[in-house]
Amino acid sequence: MSTLTGLSPHKRTLTPSPRARSGDSGVRGLVRRFPTASFFALAFGLSWAAWAPYVLSVHGLGVLDLRFPEVLGTTQLLGGLPGAYLGPLAAAFVVTALVEGRAGLRAWAHRLTHWRVGWRRYAAVLVTVPAVVLLSTVALPGALAGAQPISPVVLAAYLPMLVLQILTTSLAEEPGWRDFALPRLQASFGPVLGTTVLGLLWGCWHLPLFLIAEWGGYPEQSWVLPVVFVAGCVPLSIIMTWAFNRSGQSVPLVMVLHASINSTYTLVWPVAFPHLDFHLDTALTMLLASTAVAAVLLLATRGRLGLPAPARGGHPVEAAPAS
């Protein structure tokens, strides 16, 4: 497995590099001194700036007489997706290039293309995610009484939807959150606290989108929906961290996991539970399901979440190659 120059993947440090300490100044010097903080600042800044016209348009707050055309039945592809790509993905590339140069970009790209982790892992994700989501929804009051059968047409559309979600949401976000930020946060704070920090920031990054009608809109859903959503991003991040660590830092596996969650909620869930509130009840289901799974993983791994424990002398044990 490729790693950053001169450092093990589980022993990275956030102290300034000698190059940064020896006279770098201005923005570049600041980025090199604080790469993780710079990544989050850039990811938030780029995305929120790009989303501003969408949020202020008729699809959001209605301040601007601006309309985004629908593509595949939604305005989010043209209104929201560009900001998603300009945020985590672009920020990870820029900060990695400034701080670590070509060696860092090679390590970043390796994790991004490390897809050979065994077909069983992908199959487990594709089967387990819809099953857990649907079963967890039954815990909501009245969910089972109004449940409807899922037609073969919907099931046939699941894989095409999955591919679309991988190429849009997953590809826009995971090269930043899990590929760039997660290894650094784990090295600084450990797997649990590092993942908690990442989950909270990941959830908060979405906040402007809750002003869009397709995300529930304000003030119809008020503050409850985004709070539940952000809370759910923490246990969901714990699951993603476990998948990332356990697979030898495979970002493609995490991308499939992310896309499978989105595909289930976008395509399958509304058909199975048409009487439930799509926005709030999906957020509640995500919180319930991910909390239950995350608790099991935390207990089973004793808080390591698949991260190899340090060997004697404080040197980390390298992750075994994924099978």
pLDDT for residue 38 is more than 90: yes
pLDDT value, residue 217: 86
**Largest Cα–Cα separation, the chain:** 67
pLDDT value, residue 311: 56
pLDDT for residue 28 is more than 80: yes
Instruction: Compute the distance between CA of residue 19 and CA of residue 15 in angstroms, rounded to an integer.
Output: 11
Say what percent of the chain tops pLDDT 70: 88
pLDDT for residue 317 is more than 80: no
- By mean pLDDT, which of 20-34, 41-55, 93-107, 234-248 is the weakest? 20-34
Count other Cβ atoms within 10 Å, centred on residue 133. 22
* Cα-based torsion angle of the residue sequence 48, 52, 54, 56 in order, rounded to the nearest 10 degrees: 140
**Over residues 312-323, mean pLDDT:** 43
- Specify the amino acid at residue 240: M
Count other Cβ atoms within 10 Å, centred on residue 94. 16
Q: What share of the chain is helix, strand, coil (3-state, %, to 5)?
A: 70, 0, 30
**What is the per-residue pLDDT across 166-180, written as a single tens digit (0 to 9) for each?**
999 999 999 999 999
pLDDT for residue 25 is more than 80: no
Tokens of residue 320, six digits: 């075994």
| 180 CB burial (10 A radius; 0-12, 13-18, 19+) | buried
Count other Cβ atoms within 10 Å, centred on residue 277. 14
pLDDT for residue 140 is more than 50: yes
**Over residues 2-17, mean pLDDT:** 37
Tokens of residue 300, six digits: 């089973």
Partners of 24 in beta bridges = none
pLDDT for residue 33 is more than 90: yes
Tokens of residue 158, six digits: 């699941």
Instruction: Compute the distance between CA of residue 258 and CA of residue 125 in angstroms, rounded to an integer.
Output: 10
**Over residues 49-72, mean pLDDT:** 96
- Residue of 297, 43, 293 whose CA lies nearest to 177: 43
pLDDT for residue 98 is more than 60: yes
Cβ 182 vs Cβ 194: under 8 Å: yes
pTM greater than 0.95:
no
pLDDT for residue 100 is more than 50: yes
